[in-house]
A and B are shown apart, each in its own frame.
Chain A
Amino acid sequence: MKLRVYLIGMAVLALRFGCALPAADLNVLAAASLSDALKEIAKTYEPASGDKLLLNLAASSTLARQIKEGAPADVFFSADEAKMDDLAKSGLLAADTRLSLLSNTLVIVVGSEGGAVITTPADLAKPAVGRIALAEPQTVPAGIYAKEYLQKAGLWKQIIDKIVPTENVRACLAAVESGNVDAGIVYKTDVLISKKVKIGYEVAIADGPKISYPLAVLKASKNAEAARRFAAYLASAEARAVFAKYGFLPAP
């Protein structure tokens, strides 16, 4: 008798709370360079929308691969178009949700205390610069952009032996911060949140590669509506202001 009362009571409570909050858990897979901006955006968005944002921040190449292998994902925010194209070709994007949102600048950084002195890109080829960290130049957008730039500047062949590839652009930043490499190429937005590196040279937009951050909702998303809502929010004025605060530029 008592047991039955207890079970009914539990069921009522479950119904009451279960129905009250149609909250979604959104898997947001985003490029590592967006970490800080997105975390701040999440702080505003989560209480307002009632949805929970599960941020998976890593190299866009790693994330794209995970999506292709079926990892749960609702929104993908990549640091280059190539990764998004790849998913589009595989038919994994929800129709009409793709949008190129942001851009960025490349900078050559050195440790803020001591270490190498770099004022022009050609300084990278100097013997004093022994090791240069880049995000993996074959797959990670930051590395691909860096390689593109260095090739354009005619420096790639000279510095290729000094390159230490890292898993993503934040790992590249960390390598420079640790002092274990002499210099690195990261996004300007990464430098702005770090206290332990300083800019040696900022690549002018005209000289650098075309950097574009596209955003899309995934077709396999289990919370398509909530995902679209979030994607739309990211394009809103409020969100853009946060991105601008962190140094991102609008899409080219």
Chain B
Amino acid sequence: MSAEVWEVTWFTMGVAALSTLLILPFGLLLAWLLARRDWPGKSVVETLVALPLVMPPVATGLLLLKLLGRRGPLGGWLEAHPGWEIIFTWRGVVAATAVMSFPLLVRTARVAFEGVNPRLEQVARTLGAGPWRVFATVTLPLAARGLVAGALLAFARALGEFGATIMVAGFIPGKTATLALSIYHLVQLGRDDEALALLAVSVAIAFGAVWASEWFLRRKKT
């Protein structure tokens, strides 16, 4: 593999990993709330979370662009702080991939939490454990497999993100060049052979990530 292919690969894996780490805390919290609590407007939240999964990625990207662009409600505030611009930077890649992979994490994690028998949590509380201790010593360990699977799935999705990324970050060689964007760019230039090399790397990584995710989901508790 050439140096450029390595660079693009590492960059892609790096932003995907960062994006997954960023969505983990809020994603797990939301998944737990959806699994264990009811509140008025819950179905609205569920639908909103599912939107990036169903909307065309470029549409989601457009929304983000309007929100985070210099004239957007959030973007204006961000631009005032140097080093915090999102659009056309690697931060934009992280933002786009985070939004696109968030629903996958939440769905998988929610199922993992729902799979923990609530009776166990209740008994733990009668034994004197407060809600945080119950979460840390009962819920989390028992849901761990599903949560890891969810994180891996989110990671895999982040690796392959294109539509929203190209809207928010564009393709800037050396700055926002992910595997997916690079493949598109090379094809536009007519350099199909190089694109195929990137394609092979994409397939290999995605295969590995999804395989690992399925493995975690498949392992039955003994």
Residues of A whose CB lies within 8 Å of any CB of B are 61-62, 65, 131, 136, 138-139, 163-166, 178-181
Contact = CB atoms under 8 A, between A and B. Distances in A.
Interface residues of B, number: 13
B150 interface: no
A178 B71 contact: yes
B87 interface: yes
Contact of A180 (B69, B172, B173): B69
Contact of A139 (B69, B170, B189): B189
A194 to B, nearest CB: 16
B69 A179 contact: yes
A181 B88 contact: yes
Contact of A165 (B87, B172, B190): B172
A139 B70 contact: no
Chain A to chain B: the 7 pairs with minimum beta-carbon distance, closest first: A179-B70, A180-B87, A179-B71, A180-B69, A164-B88, A180-B70, A139-B189
Interface string B136-175: 0000000000000000000000000000000000111100
A61 B186 CA distance: 12
Nearest to B187: A65
B188 interface: yes
Contacts of B170: 164-166
B188 A178 contact: no
A165 B170 CA distance: 8
B189 A178 contact: no
B151 to A, nearest CB: 31
B188 A65 contact: yes
Given A163-B172, A164-B172, A165-B172, A180 B188 contact: no
A131 B88 CA distance: 9
Nearest to B92: A180
Interface string B64-91: 0100011100000000000000011000
A163 B172 CA distance: 8
A173 B190 CA distance: 25
